[in-house]
Structure 1
């Protein structure tokens, strides 16, 4: 469940499997309260998916 105390920023990259990919994401934040997670999902037959979620404290 999402918290009302955070602002969430989501970035999703979907591309054809086998194509080259360099993925980079950055955010200016408070390291004691904010965070991020990046997940690569490559189980689909013909695509790669990279999802990054930033959680920024309000």
Structure 2
């Protein structure tokens, strides 16, 4: 792939943020925190985000989504994520959703250029 053919993550970041917002709203719209199925919901949203975002990113990027569902009543939480990358091509998204009554959702997505 020629350097001029490389797609920068910044060129699709806004569209991917919308995908993240839409998938969180869709999957958690009627959900109340339940420790028995929080892992299932976490898997579901991460997979849905990557599946739809990968269509947008095509073969230009490898995507990794990390999703966490945390009970508001009992969760103390700290998270860090890091990745070595080319800051001119690669990028990431970190979003915290605290609009739900009983839980938080935190999404971290890395977009790593394949070129």
The answer, yes or no, to whether TM exceeds 0.5 is: yes
Q: CA deviation at 1:2?
A: 2.9
Q: After TM superposition, which residue ranges in structure 1, 4 or more long, deviate above 2 angstroms? A: none
Written as runs of structure 1 = structure 2, the 5 A alignment for 1:1-58 is 1-18=56-73, 19-58=75-114
Which has more helix, going by share of residues?
2
Q: Which runs of 5+ in 1 are unaligned?
A: none
TM-score by length of 2: 0.48
TM-score by length of 1: 0.89
**1:14-55 superposed Cα distances (whole Å, 9 cap, x missing partner):** 110142111111111111110001000011111111100000
More deviation in 27-36 or 11-20?
A: 11-20
Larger Rg: 2
Which has more strand, going by share of residues?
1
How far apart in 1 are the matches of 2:58 and 2:92? 15
How far apart in 2 are the matches of 1:24 and 1:55? 16
More deviation in 10-19 or 48-57?
A: 10-19
